[in-house]
Amino acid sequence: MKEIYSIWAIPSAPTYRNVESIITRLAREHDGPTFSPHITIVGDVGLPKSQLTDVIGSLNTNSDKVFRLGRVACSENYYKAVFVETKDDSSIRTLRSNLLSLLGMGSDEYNPHMSLMYGTYAVTTLAAIANAITVPDIPTKIARLDLVPITPDPNEWESIYSLYLMSNRQA
């Protein structure tokens, strides 16, 4: 079976810790999977791992990639049941554009976000959960990019390659 990968942007602290605690709490309260806080930059890539690590490793890491978290929302999409939108995210969009170009992939609609909960729930339940969550509106840097093999079980999603964008390796 062909491996499928995603390239994730991992936020720096304290955003990482704040979002991680929300994900862990929601997973425990609603019997859902846990996963690392991330923004999917490019998903569902069927290229060889070596090609992906070469492309990620070739990226310019000299400039800070900064974004802010915005409104918490919900959807009927399993992987976006409860999520927080990004704002002031031009660096994320540029990073995605650069990666797509290097990978020879076309672009489709892109709405950067950070999922807080995966699952299938009643819309009223999701709305109540989303309305009860606030996240700090602080500038956040992307600490690193992770290459993650995507399997059917999100609990298994672990990075197999990382490119640190911050010199102190925090996330």
pLDDT digits (tens, 9 = 90+) for 73-128: 999 999 999 999 999 999 999 999 999 999 999 888 899 999 999 999 999 999 99
Beta bridge partners of 6: 148
Confidence (pTM): 0.93
The set of long-range contacts for 95-98, using a CB threshold of 8 Å and a minimum separation of 24, is: 95/9, 95/41, 95/59, 95/65, 95/142, 96/41, 96/42, 98/59
- Amino acid identity of 76? E
Beta bridge partners of 83: 73, 115
Q: What is the mean pLDDT of residues 7-18?
A: 96
Query: What's the pLDDT score for residue 168?
Result: 52
- Amino acid identity of 28? R
Instruction: For the chain, give the mean pLDDT.
Output: 93
Is the pLDDT confidence value at 143 over 90?
A: yes
Q: What is the mean pLDDT of residues 23-41?
A: 97
Whether the link from the prior residue into 14 is cis, omega within 30° of 0, is yes
Is the pLDDT confidence value at 1 over 70?
A: no
Domain annotation for the chain: domains and CATH numbers = 5-69+90-107+136-164 (3.90.1140.10)
Q: What are phi and psi of 65, to 5 degrees?
A: -110, 105
C-alpha to C-alpha distance for 90 and 97, rounded to whole angstroms: 10
Is residue 7 classed as helix, strand or coil in its secondary structure?
strand
38-57 residue pLDDT tens: 999 999 999 999 999 999 99
Question: Six-digit token pair at 18?
Answer: 């704040």
- Amino acid identity of 44? D
